[in-house]
Structure 1
Amino acid sequence: MKRRLFISFFGLLAVLVLLPRGADALTISPPYFDYSLNPGDTVLDVIKLYNESETGTETYYPIVMNFGASEDEGGSPQFYPPEEDQMGRGLAQWITVDTSPITIAAQERANLQFSINVPKGADVQPGGHYGAILMSTSPPSIEGNGVGVASQLSSIMLVRVSGEVREVGGIAEFGFADPQVWYNHLPIDFLLRFENSGNVHLRPTGNLMIKNWYGRTVESLRVNPEFKSVLPMSIRKFTFGWTKESEDSLSRSSALEKELRNFALGKYTAQLVLNYGSTNQVLTATRVFYVWPWRLMAIFGGGLLILLLGFWNFKRNYDKSLLRRFERMKKQVDQSKKTEDKE
């Protein structure tokens, strides 16, 4: 039985940390291709490679793979060999590229040509098909039934094949990254889990409007401004936040200073409006949350109490002073009357 090899971007990044040279010195452009094709179509294109290293040459080995959505919903692709075609959505077997090693001198560039040939016939599923060309720092090795690859970067390819294409999306979850509704200060980090139940990749975009307790919009946030894709039959997480100053800039600040510099107060309503698909289908969701900076409120309340007590004490002393003055004046008037009566 074949041993499947899944290589996620997280794994690749871990390898890159361990390897000081190689794929980490390579720039691939563009990072992805997106095509809309018909059965029988052929497209020719070029991947541009740039060796950023200052000295020496690097050799890279092109490898063609399929990819699908990661199980962690983070959007990192999971790569698998061309012969493993998940749900008939693979693209690798349609990609033609010269897999000979490419040697690039320091600060030099190279082009890698490839073609995608969509076959004709009833076996070709309409909708999305997904593959990638990876640039490895070592030649692919076959060990038993597995495939071994070293440090690598990739240019991924998304193809939409015409036919009975179903664009079906939904909001699996909309809420907060930190599951609570009461906060002491900004930022408020929102979490969107978008579910693609169709057969082609979708790019949900839209806006999140934050309104205060009397309906005024205090902030508007863009959702998925990078136009990231959600692959068929998968869920992808998107996070976005409302803040005034970043947490990094306040990393050494006290909790009180954070409440002051990332101030908000009261009840807020977050209204999400999403669009997706070729016909701009609309999805909406609403959440309510509260911000109560209790440290600031305690200081403000304490200061107000001191001010009120001071005013009350001043008024009481002032009233007593007026009363004493009135009594002295009354005494003087009474004495004046007595003197007049004697005369």
Structure 2
Amino acid sequence: MRGVKLCLLICSFAYLLVYLLPKSVYAQSLSLSIWPPLLEVMIQPGRSVTQAYEIANHSEYDLKVTPSIIPFKPANNEGQISLQWENKNFPNFFSFETGEILNTPFWLKSGQTKQVLLKISPPKDLSEKDYYFTLLFSANPVSPSEKNTSSSSTIEVGANILISVSQSGNPKLFGKISEFSCPKVIDSFSPVNFNLKVENWGKTFWKPFGKIFITCFLGQKEEIEILPQNVLAESERKIFVPSFKPKLPLGPFKAKVEFSLNQEGPVKLESQISFWYLPYKILIPLLFVIFFFFLFKKFRPKK
């Protein structure tokens, strides 16, 4: 009886190894990539443009890949997006020149890289404004042993597409600086972190091209390059500014941000703030020591 129990235990353990563990490894080995990850297009209504994408299957298994177009909008001011899955009435002017069909799966073998040509053809009567989409590829693996699609394991990769439809090719850009700030007093041993938020209240996305100019009463002059990040239409964006520490962190400082809404200009936005650098992390404890020293000296019992 003891031998039978031991046999059943070994068989149960073998069952777990064969039927459970491979599925976990199988799900973890899926990998799909797309290039380029971002496309920016300025196009006239009634015209068309073609973009090549490379889809690569880095998995150990063949994949059943389904392409789709999903509109998106900004999710917050950090640059993240929100796919609008429920929006089914968006203007769809996309097709493939290489034979693929939207929402129809195709096979991508293990280790295979496939080039697809996406054609963008906005109609003549399309409103002149921005349209934002994600070219999404959803993939399901095929088990080499079972030869069927696994619906439990799905991976998705996407490339964002920013389309500005404009008849003139030079749409008007509108924007403002909604916030440019930093702490009023900064310790001399710490860097300063600037908060820069900009707002695009136009119909076309743009990027800030400019600098933050920093000056001190001691004659110091330094600059910080602004990273040209996309600010989508009718949205606010927090622009990343690297931490800054002057060579001589002492005294009053002024910081002025200046940028245009494209590389050519001429629209220019600017804002200025002031702040102080003081070694207060050392000064405050030192003042306490001096205060208590004189207090002790004053009230010390006389001999």
Partner of 2:249: 264
Gaps of 5+ in 1: 1-18, 140-148, 245-260, 303-343
Contact 2:200–2:233 (CA under 8 A) maintained in structure 1: yes
Cα shift readout 1:18-54 (whole Å, capped 9, x = no counterpart) = x7344xx22211111111111111112211122334x
The alpha-carbon distance between structure 1 residues 74 and 299, as it changes in their structure 2 partners (threshold 3 A), is closer
- The residue correspondences of 1:187-206 to structure 2 (distance < 5 A) are 187-206=191-210
Residues 189 and 239, structure 1, Cα contact 8 Å, conserved in 2: no
Question: Which of the numbers 64, 72, 80 marks the counterpart of 1:67?
Answer: 72
Tell me the CA shift for residue 115 of structure 1.
0.9
Which residue number corresponds to residue 26 of structure 1? 32
Partner of 2:172: 166
Aligned mates of 1:263, 1:152 — CA distance in 2:
50
Q: Is the 8 A contact 2:32 2:155 kept in 1?
A: no
SS across alignment from 2:54: strand
Q: In the alignment, is the contact (CA less than 8 A) between 1:173 and 1:193 conserved in 2? A: yes
Residue by residue over 1:271-300, the C-alpha shift from the partner in whole angstroms, topping out at 9 and shown as x without a partner, is: 111111464311111111122223455799
- In structure 2, the residue matched to 1:112 is 116
1:222 CA displacement: 1.1
1:187 Cα deviation (Å)? Answer: 2.1
Identify the residue that residue 277 of structure 2 maps to in structure 1: 291
1:128 aligned to which of 127, 130, 152 = 130
Shift of residue 233, structure 1, vs aligned partner: 0.8
Cα distance in 2 for residues equivalent to 1:111 and 1:20: 25
Give 2:291's aligned residue: none
Q: Partners in 1 of 2:87 and 2:280 — Cα distance?
A: 60
Distance 2:88 2:201 in 1: 22
Query: Is 1:187–1:241's contact at 8 Å kept on the other side of the alignment?
Result: no
Matches of 1:193 and 1:56, distance apart in 2: 45
- Does structure 1 residue 101 correspond to structure 2 residue 99? no
**Per residue, is there more helix in 1 or in 2?**
1
Distance in 2 (alpha carbons) for counterparts of 1:162 and 1:168: 15
Distance (whole Å) between structure 2 residues aligned to residue 58 and residue 197 of structure 1: 42
Aligned partner of residue 137 in structure 1, secondary structure:
strand
Q: TM-score, normalised by structure 1?
A: 0.62
- Call closer, same or farther: CA 1:234–1:242 in 2, change over 3 Å: same
Inter-partner Cα distance in structure 2 for 1:284 and 1:32: 29
Query: Hey, what does 1:280 align to over in structure 2?
Result: 266
Contact 1:243/1:262, CA 8 A, preserved across alignment: no
Aligned alpha-carbon RMSD (Å): 3.0
Matched AA of 1:110:
K
Cα deviation, residue 301, structure 1? 9.5
| Distance (whole Å) between structure 2 residues aligned to residue 186 and residue 102 of structure 1 | 55
Q: Kindly report which structure 2 residues correspond to 1:3-82, keeping only aligned pairs within 5 A, or say none.
A: 20-22=28-30, 25-53=31-59, 55-70=60-75, 72-81=76-85
Q: Which amino acid aligns with 1:221?
A: I
Partner of 1:308: none
Deviations 1:169-200 (A, max 9, x none): 11111113xxx311223321111111111111
Higher Cα Rg: structure 1 or 2? 1
Q: Is the 1:273–1:283 contact (alpha carbons within 8 Å) kept by the matching residues of 2?
A: yes
CA 1:26–1:82 in structure 2 vs 1: closer, same or farther (change >3 Å)? Answer: same
Counterpart mapping for 1:224-239 below 5 A:
224=227, 227-239=228-240
TM-score (norm 2): 0.70
Mapped partners of 2:242, 2:118: distance in 1: 40
Measure, in 2, the Cα distance between the counterparts of 1:222 and 1:152: 35
Q: Which runs of 5+ in 2 are unaligned?
A: 1-26, 142-152, 289-303
Which residue of the partner structure matches residue 336 of structure 1?
none
Match for 2:28: what amino acid?
P
Closer/same/farther in 2, CA of residues 57 and 262 from structure 1, 3 Å limit: farther
**Per-residue deviation, residues 135-163 of structure 1 (Å, max 9, x unmatched):** 22349xxxxxxxxx954221111112123
Deviations 1:295-335 (A, max 9, x none): 45579999xxxxxxxxxxxxxxxxxxxxxxxxxxxxxxxxx
In structure 2, distance between residues paired with 1:295 and 1:198:
45
Matched, 1:221 2:227: no
Q: What letter corresponds to residue 134 of structure 2 in structure 1? A: A
How does 1:293-332 map onto structure 2 within 5 Å? 293-296=279-282
Superposition map of 1:87-98 within 5 A: 93-97=92-96, 98=101
Which position in structure 2 is the counterpart of 1:183? 186
